[in-house]
């Protein structure tokens, strides 16, 4: 298992290095950062002083090596617009994004797994058809449209929930439902499909023939063996929630990483854009690594194969 862990860590570090390289190259070929830090009346000498102060006059290879060194130390530079360390800006917004992603993941798990299990057990029933129809609409519905619809209904018309902002639990309900609802629809369809395959296996029929309770067969035996694809989708979904909540955070004025990235792009604040992209990739890779390691706990056969390999 230790060799498997080392291999996975090496692949994760390689992927992280690739992300850092791509982000560095794309942002440096998109324009001259020094032009953002001077006024319209700046002279060529002013531009040169700015480039020297930020190290932009050095060869690209030297800048890249320096950038890798600083990232390895956790130093993502300073914001061009606000003049504060990028790590401080990210730290101030990352907590809100994690809060939203965790709440959205809970929505995806509770609704997705519950409706998927119920649909699989009642295959061919009216409930099965209705649940899968709702799931189909859920995967097709744009998040911005659902978000605006919930704001109009529950925020403006009924006045039950705040329409935007960050505060208590009531501010979290609508953003979490909008972000988690899309993934709940995916999880429900996948849960139903995986469970139907497992429920058709001989050992499930044997367990029922031995008199095991229906919920024991369903949860302890069927669901655990159907959990690998579900766990994979949930892991990928959580990473996407952390890195792709830009639209939801913008709609509900949620002070997370997505909103910070949008503001940095609009302001052409290159260090903040770099830092947000790198942090998002790091979290996504860490989540996928965690999911890979959880495979061994869910399915002992994979743990044995990893130890032998």
CA angle 224, 201, 301 (to 5 degrees): 45
Cα–Cα distances in angstroms (integers) from residue 141 to residues 136, 149, 179, 266, in the given order: 9, 11, 11, 27
Question: In this predicted structure, what is the pLDDT of residue 203?
Answer: 64
Question: In this predicted structure, what is the pLDDT of residue 5?
Answer: 73
Question: In this predicted structure, what is the pLDDT of residue 166?
Answer: 82
Q: From CA 273, how far away is CA 17, in angstroms rounded?
A: 17
Question: In this predicted structure, what is the pLDDT of residue 46?
Answer: 66
Question: In this predicted structure, what is the pLDDT of residue 101?
Answer: 87
Residue ranges of the chain with per-residue pLDDT less than 50: 306
Residues in the chain: 309
Q: Residues 235-263: pLDDT tens digits?
A: 778 877 776 577 788 888 888 887 888 88
Question: In this predicted structure, what is the pLDDT of residue 128?
Answer: 79
Long-range CB contacts for residues 241-245, cutoff 8 Å, separation at least 24: 241/100, 241/101, 241/104, 241/105, 241/179, 241/180, 241/183, 242/97, 242/98, 242/101, 242/280, 242/283, 242/284, 242/287, 243/280, 243/281, 243/283, 243/284, 245/97, 245/100, 245/101, 245/104, 245/179
Cα–Cα distances in angstroms (integers) from residue 1 to residues 6, 36, 137, 287, 288, in the given order: 9, 50, 42, 19, 17
Q: What is the set of domains in the chain, with CATH numbers?
A: 2-72 (no CATH), 86-308 (1.10.3720.10)
Under 8 Å CB-to-CB from 27, ≥6 apart: which residues? 270, 273, 274
Question: In this predicted structure, what is the pLDDT of residue 65?
Answer: 85
């Amino acid at each position: 298992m230790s060799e498997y862990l080392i291999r996975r860590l090496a692949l994760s570090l390689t992927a992280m290095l690739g992300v850092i390289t791509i982000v560095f190259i794309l942002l440096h070929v998109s324009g001259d950062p020094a032009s953002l830090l001077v006024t319209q009346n700046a002279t060529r000498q002013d531009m040169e002083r700015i480039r020297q102060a930020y190290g932009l006059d050095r060869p690209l290879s030297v800048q890249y090596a320096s950038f890798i060194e600083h990232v390895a130390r956790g130093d993502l530079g300073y914001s061009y617009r606000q003049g504060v360390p990028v790590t401080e800006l990210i730290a101030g917004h990352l907590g809100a994004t994690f809060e939203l992603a965790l709440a959205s993941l809970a929505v995806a798990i509770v609704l997705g797994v519950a409706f998927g299990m119920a649909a699989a057990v009642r295959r061919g029933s009216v409930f099965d058809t209705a649940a899968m129809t709702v799931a189909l609409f859920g995967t097709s519905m744009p998040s911005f449209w659902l978000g605006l619809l919930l704001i109009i209904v529950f925020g403006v018309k009924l006045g039950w929930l705040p329409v935007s902002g960050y505060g208590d639990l009531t501010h979290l309900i609508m953003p979490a439902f909008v972000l988690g609802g899309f993934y709940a629809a995916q999880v429900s369809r996948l849960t139903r499909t995986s469970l139907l395959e497992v429920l058709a296996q001989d050992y499930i029929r044997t367990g029922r023939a031995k008199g095991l309770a229906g919920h024991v067969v369903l949860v302890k035996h069927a669901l655990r063996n159907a959990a690998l694809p579900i766990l994979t989708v949930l892991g990928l979904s959580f990473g996407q929630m952390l890195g792709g909540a830009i639209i939801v955070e913008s709609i509900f004025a949620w002070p997370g990483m997505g909103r910070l990235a949008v503001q940095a792009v609009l302001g052409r604040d290159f260090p903040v854009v770099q830092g947000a992209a790198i942090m998002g990739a790091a979290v996504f890779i860490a989540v996928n690594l965690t999911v890979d390691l959880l495979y061994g706990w869910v399915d002992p056969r994979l743990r044995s194969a990893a130890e032998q390999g």
